[in-house]
Structure 1
Amino acid sequence: IYGFVSKPDYLKGSAVNQVIMINGRRVKHDGIRKAIYRAYTQGERHPSFIVLMEVNPSLLDFNIHPQKKEVKFSRGLRIFEKVYMAVRETLAKEKKNIETSIAIEGRVYSRGRGRFQMVVSEPKNERQGEQLEFGEVPVKSELQPQYEYTPQNIWQVHNSYIFAQIKNGIIIVDQHAAHERILYEQLKNKDYSSQALLFPIIVELTNMEASIFEEYEDLFKAFGFEFRKLRGNSVIIDKVPSIFKKITKDFIRELINSLEDTELLPERFDSFLKTLACKAAIKFGDSLSQDEMVALLDQLFASQNPFFCPHGRPTIYRITLEELEKRFGR
């Protein structure tokens, strides 16, 4: 599998210049197209792309369309995963030269069906020479002015909520939900590195868990996990994403079990990201320093959607001066 994708800032208003070629035949495949769109997360704008694939014919079915313009894979959702991860990783990296190509190795199908190399690079266009800026956290958000606060007016309550004085009242921030939002967006943008564990963790998996883990090895690697396999169903975890402050055997098994369904639908992939963010986020009861609270609020308001955690729960509750005065009969 290899091809070309357009820069995130060069998306179009209509779906043009989109080509999928499988074994030399131009086809339609909603799964591949959705995988590419999912990697951009840019609303209703459309990327341009060329995807070229060579696949064992025995794994393809062209008979679902009279003119053989559509194709079905025997395990097509593995293709969704590979295309999504390759495009996402490419877009997430800043490039010094627009003609730089990124080679990504992985398995099209698990259980020893061979390896492939995917090269995803940007087509030449009038924006040539600009650097890719994808996944960066802005220093300030457009929402920040109406929620302006100062470090001396921030405090923690019950090691669970952060109170901050703003111009026209106060805000109460759920520290766990807020951190979940921050980490979720970092994971989507791959805005983090891997860190080596001081003491590698040995995880004993059940037969089912080992099978799931083998299916999704590339997914774990893409998010910064490094591991070694032992005999049987044992796995040694050597490196984890740097966003994790604490890692346990149960956590690794929970991640694996979150992928128990055999189909990696977009919704299930997003659920995997949410699980990662939830488990890595600070918890209720965690005491935070003044600097940590300030950093948390700064990053929250710099996120794309600061008012809700990835699961849809509110992160911020605002109380205006008018509401307070009304409560006290003023």
Structure 2
Amino acid sequence: TAIIEAYRDFLAPVRFPFVVLNFEIEPALVDVNVHPSKREIRFSKEEALRQVLLDLIPTILSGTPLLAAAPLNKEGLNRNERSIVDEPQSLLETEVAYGQYSFDEIAQSQNIKPSLVFQAIGQMHGTYIVAVDEHGGFVLVDQHAAAERINYEKFKHLASINEYIISPIVPLIIDMKPSEDALVTPERLAVLKQTGVLLEPFGIHSYKVVEIPIWAKEFDERQYVEQLLDDVLHQDKFDPLKIRDEAIAMKSCKRSLKANQRLSIGEMQALIDKLLTCQHPYTCPHGRPTIVSFSKYDLEKMFKRTGF
């Protein structure tokens, strides 16, 4: 589960990464007698190992160019043949990353993204930005997915640096169905409080929002609290930061630039430039690709100029 959690910002739902891990651990920290057939082992510092994976995997992926390459028909293009886009592509295809890391190296590591330069030249269907790259190829940028990523990282940053709690100026009352109210437990209310939202009972099947993070004013406060509450009530395992981030992702989606919205060249370029400053620019918060690339070689191959 730690691996899937670490890939959360990089893969769409129901997509699963293929990962091979090789650990070098002191034998004294490993219990091999947990299972009679030795199919399971137990680490004495499982939580520390889990945190290493949560820190290490995003660090490696953030420093790796994860541009989704456009899938091309291997048989080439003829008038009577199939379309260039043959099958829905896997979201992320990248080279295998190898390396040895210690706890200290992980703590000191910094995300370094490759330097990319894209120049916007147009827009397709009011949805996809067309931009040329410095190597003679071009990319398509999903403007909604790009705006989602930009807003998501912006609001996550605000949440991380500004933990001030305020009381809503206008009283905020959340009404619930009896079936929903039955799911409200002290444990779930405590999880909400860890996200900065404090609720108190207010009549029958209603709750008053007593405290809310100051940065949440960037959103519709009611919708934000309702989103958090919905996530908490329908989960068995509670991770306050994960719940908060999922709510931020949902609100970022609703606040982002939409498809079928015409942009000027300047607006397109500004969006691309902002996207490339993100920590994880290649996917939206839900794991969909923001950029699909067509290399110069891809173009030459499509027009049969490569000799193959």
Of Structure 1 and Structure 2, the greater strand share is in 1
| Higher RCO structure, 1 or 2 (CA under 8 Å, sep 6+) | 2
